[in-house]
Amino acid sequence: VFLQLASDMDTYTIVLQKKRGARLGIEVDTAHGLGGLLVHTVKDGLVEAWNKSNPDMQVRVGDQIIEVNGVVGDADALVAQCKVANRLQMRLLREPTEAQCSSSGSSGLPSVQVVCWNILAGAYASLKTYPDVEPSVLHSSRRRAQVAAALAYLSADVICLQEVDCSLDELGLISEYDSCEAQRPEGRCDRCVIAWKRARLELGPAGHRMVSFDEHLPPRPLGADIAQYYTGSVGLVAELRVRSDPCKRCITVATTHLCWEPHKTEVRSWQLHTLWGIVSTFAGPRILLCGDLNSLPGSQPHRFLSDGCGLLSAYRDLESSVLTNSNAHAGPGGFAAMIDYVWYSAKWFALKQRLRLPTADELKASAAAAAHAEAESAAAQPLQQRPAPCVLGPVPTLLSASWPSDHLALSAVFELTNPVVNDVWDFE
């Protein structure tokens, strides 16, 4: 449900109003893709009428319905919505044609897909923190298998993980990937990891470096209580080189997990300032910085990266509406927001694709629809006679039987730009 990689330019939305006796007029394949409906026939009906009225946004054979009325990720639930709802708001994905693919690749520039994900360490997955979660969901072996399956599906070139507390073999990252890691100090259980596909990338001349923020404290005047800066948070930076690139272009990849306490905004800002000071001088200008920043859009750490460092967020146009983390029992009303990010230096990368992230309303509607469908399957009463799913209340906790973490994975595909052999660069 959360692993649909697409460019927003390749998705579009249609709205259909059903009338008595009207047919949609499409045939779909429910077995195609990851929870989507593949359109393989368009005939007389509402969709054909839409096509005639909207020639610039026509539904075509081969398009995939990926969302209906906020429901995503479950083909059967999408079909159910199409059957029972009178108003259908559909989001469809159009795969690029062969000609478009050839055109987009005509530059000959290499590209990389990056994944960033806080996978939730076992020590932090408890019923005290997530009282609404079934106890079986918290089992580490189950969740690690789910993480491994998601990572295998994404098959990214570079994977940046936070809260890793197991071997990379358990996550399926041994056979194809090389890696480096930053273990949190003082006996803490988890670490940050950067893994890269050895067939596509190799460690560059600068190698890699771990950053323990406990060893980089601010001058005394900046913090009255210096003890609050000892959080055990770490960062990790590595230089990676594209093996097949004759220009030997390198990428500086950094990941971090900043301190989580809500009141420690200044601490997070200092940690990020420290990391950037190392990252910006570590190797070359092609920088990807991602991680769990525990910072809301527009906060001081966020503004530091966007305004002070000149980086762009891969989700900058959606940050106010989508979320990457939720816990229905985190304080009054729960918590749901975007606190994980993928940042990049726009002068040296072109963003091509990204994983689609849900809004709070979409997540609530999806959870309500799933619960409604489950109740319907166990009851004899027809679905159309049952009350509509309720989307009131807090956003549901992401950690569930179908998702192994309270964080979503982020992913983006970047094309390396400015193809020069010797990079003369600055951060203007």
Q: What per-residue confidence (pLDDT) applies to 276? A: 97
Going by pLDDT thresholds of 50, 70 and 90, the confidence category of residue 370 is low
- pTM (predicted TM-score): 0.75
> Which tens digits make up the pLDDT trace of 274-323?
999 999 999 989 999 999 999 999 999 999 999 999 899 999 888 988 99
pLDDT top residue among 375 and 8 = 375
Q: What per-residue confidence (pLDDT) applies to 353? A: 86
Among 55-59, 143-147, 277-281, 353-357, the range scoring the smallest mean pLDDT is 55-59
> Which tens digits make up the pLDDT trace of 150-195?
999 899 999 999 999 999 999 999 999 999 999 999 999 999 999 9
Among 171-175, 220-224, 391-395, 400-404, the range scoring the smallest mean pLDDT is 220-224
Mean pLDDT of 394-401: 92
pLDDT top residue among 142 and 9 = 142
Q: What per-residue confidence (pLDDT) applies to 356? A: 84
Q: What per-residue confidence (pLDDT) applies to 247? A: 82
Going by pLDDT thresholds of 50, 70 and 90, the confidence category of residue 376 is low
Among 34-38, 204-208, 372-376, 417-421, the range scoring the smallest mean pLDDT is 417-421
pLDDT top residue among 281 and 225 = 281
Q: What per-residue confidence (pLDDT) applies to 100? A: 39
> Which tens digits make up the pLDDT trace of 99-153?
333 333 445 678 899 999 999 999 999 999 999 999 999 999 999 999 999 999 8
Q: What per-residue confidence (pLDDT) applies to 101? A: 38
- How many Å separate Cα 236 from the centre of its chain? 19
Going by pLDDT thresholds of 50, 70 and 90, the confidence category of residue 424 is very low
Q: What per-residue confidence (pLDDT) applies to 103? A: 35
> Which tens digits make up the pLDDT trace of 231-264?
999 999 999 999 988 888 899 999 999 999 999 9
Mean pLDDT of 205-223: 87
Q: What per-residue confidence (pLDDT) applies to 302? A: 97
Lookup result for tokens 């990049």: 344
Q: What per-residue confidence (pLDDT) applies to 421? A: 41
Mean pLDDT of 256-273: 95
Going by pLDDT thresholds of 50, 70 and 90, the confidence category of residue 219 is confident
Q: Is the pLDDT of residue 96 over 70?
A: no
